[in-house]
Amino acid sequence: MPRPIQATIHTESLRHNLARARASAPDARVWAVVKANAYGHGIGHVFEAFRGADGFALLDLAEAERVRALGWRGPILLLEGVFEARDLELCSRLNLWHVVHCEEQIDMLAVHKTHQPHRVFLKMNSGMNRLGFKPQGFRAAWTRLNALPQVDEISLMTHFSDADGPGGVAAQMAVFAAVTQDLPGERSLSNSAATLRYSGDSISSGQGRLPVSADWVRPGIALYGSAPDFPAHDIAHWNLHPAMTLSSRIIGTQNLVAGDGVGYGSGFQASGPMRIGVVACGYADGYPRVAPTGTPVLVEGVRTHTVGRVSMDMITVDLAPLQRAGVEAGFGSEVTLWGRSSQGTLLPIDDVAHVAGTVGYELMCALAPRVPVVMAA
């Protein structure tokens, strides 16, 4: 028998979450963001559920090829554009739309030979200061692109730095709207946080109003059932469903007495008699090593917590809450590290990430290759 750990991808949850994103931006088209191998879920595992999206957005050319190979004929957007000139050949061949965020990418386009002009998304750095043209250089970049025979339609985009927090999107919206007000083309602004939090909001821009959801939204994390603004809001608030369950089993138990240590460095010491379970899951599976004693976990659907350090292949959990609940637990008991237990109890990935000092994004993306992935309804 293989080690009992596995990840389960819930197709119905992915569908539900996509519908939620759509409902938050009913007038926009939806890019399903599937970068980083669909946030660790596997592009092949999410593809069917996301067929209802209007396009797939990702970073990696190999991932774009994968989506085409799965039979997708609709839009695919390269969110960082091309990295070198020959990437443009693949864009021409696979009809990939690509972001243009710097002069070097325009230089490459200017010498690219193609029969089919490209659809590009010109990116503005409206305040995040990662990728994109500064507002004062944006129109010059647009004019330069617009003069190229290699370029067909130019869409306009930016990315919010503070959509998930108190900073919000107003300042970046104002910059973007002011610079682009009389430029033609579709607009794309919103990640998950902006899509959910600013649903229905707009600002005045030139002739009309620019909705935060604009023409295309770009939700990622919300599609996978993690709240982009946890702990301010959780997935129950946003009506999102966990798309990944990481589960395993107890492979041993120990009865401790006061003063007994647990794990490397004796990172936990029992203050009295207690029973612990040893779970087949460690940092080599993608479970965060920094998760401290007290990180939530479900055993047979009952919420308990880790004790002691996370090691490569094992964690240890307190079985006292099960004894108190009158639930039998021992060798072979089901353990849910995050997601949904067979009893139906939920442990949102955000709860685990928060205690471990990180975000749901990192945990799902870190799922290790050694963990078998299965699909469920």
Ligand X SMILES: *Cc1c(COP(=O)(O)O)cnc(C)c1O
The interface mask with ligand X, positions 222-241, x = CB under 6 A, is: ------x-------------
| Residue nearer to ligand X on the CB measure, 34 or 262 | 34
DSSP 244-300: EEEEEEEEEEEEE-TT-EESGGG-EE-SS-EEEEEES--GGGT--TTPPTT-EEEET
Which of 125, 180, 191, 295: binder of ligand X (CB under 6 A)?
A: 191
Helix (H, G, I), strand (E, B), or coil: what is residue 337?
A: strand
What gap in Å lies between CA 260 and CA 271, rounded to an integer?
Answer: 8
Which of 35, 123, 224, 287 is flagged as catalytic?
35
Asked if residue 30 lies in contact with residue 216, where contact means CB atoms within 8 angstroms, the answer is: yes
- For position 221 contacting ligand X by CB under 6 A, the verdict is yes
CA distances from 63 to 71, 312, 340 (A): 13, 29, 28
Please report whether residue 220 would count as binding ligand X according to CB under 6 A.
Answer: yes
Q: Which is nearer to ligand X, 193 or 315 (CB)?
A: 193
Tell the smallest beta-carbon distance from residue 228 to ligand X (Å): 5
Q: Which of 67, 79, 279, 317 binds ligand X (CB under 6 A)?
A: 79
Distances (CA, A) of 259 to 256, 264, 273, 317: 8, 15, 9, 17
**Least distance in angstroms from the C-beta of 24 to ligand X:** 12
Residue pair 256/274 in contact by the 8 Å Cβ criterion: yes
Amino acid residing at 356: A
Q: Which stretch binds ligand X (CB under 6 A): 83-91, 169-177, 187-195, 259-267?
A: 187-195
Per CB under 6 A, which region of 172-180, 186-194, 229-237, 368-376 contacts ligand X?
186-194
Residue 287 is a catalytic residue: no
In the complex, least distance from residue 87 CB atom to ligand X, rounded to whole angstroms = 17
Q: Is the dihedral of CA 35, 36, 37, 39 positive or negative?
A: negative
The Cα 76–Cα 71 span in angstroms is: 12
β-strand pairing of 187-188 with 151-158 = parallel
| Nearest distance from C-beta of residue 244 to ligand X, angstroms | 14
Q: Is 212 in the site for ligand X (CB under 6 A)?
A: no
Instruction: Tell me if 159 contacts ligand X by CB under 6 A.
Output: yes
CB-nearer residue toward ligand X: 346 or 359: 359
Task: For ligand X, give the closer residue by CB, 18 or 33.
Answer: 33
Q: Left (φ > 0), alpha (ψ -120 to 50) or beta: where does 316 sit? A: beta
Token pair, residue 219, equals 């939700």
**Among the listed residues 66, 101, 218, 241, the single contact to ligand X using CB under 6 A:** 218
Q: Which residue is nearest to ligand X (CB)?
A: 220
Has 123 been annotated as catalytic? Answer: no
CB 263 within 8 Å of CB 308? yes
In this complex, which beta carbon is closest to ligand X, that of residue 201 or of residue 260?
A: 201
Nearest approach in angstroms of CB 191 to ligand X is 4
> Catalytic residue positions?
35, 264
Residues of this chain that interact with ligand X (CB under 6 A) are: 33, 35, 79, 159, 191-193, 218-221, 228
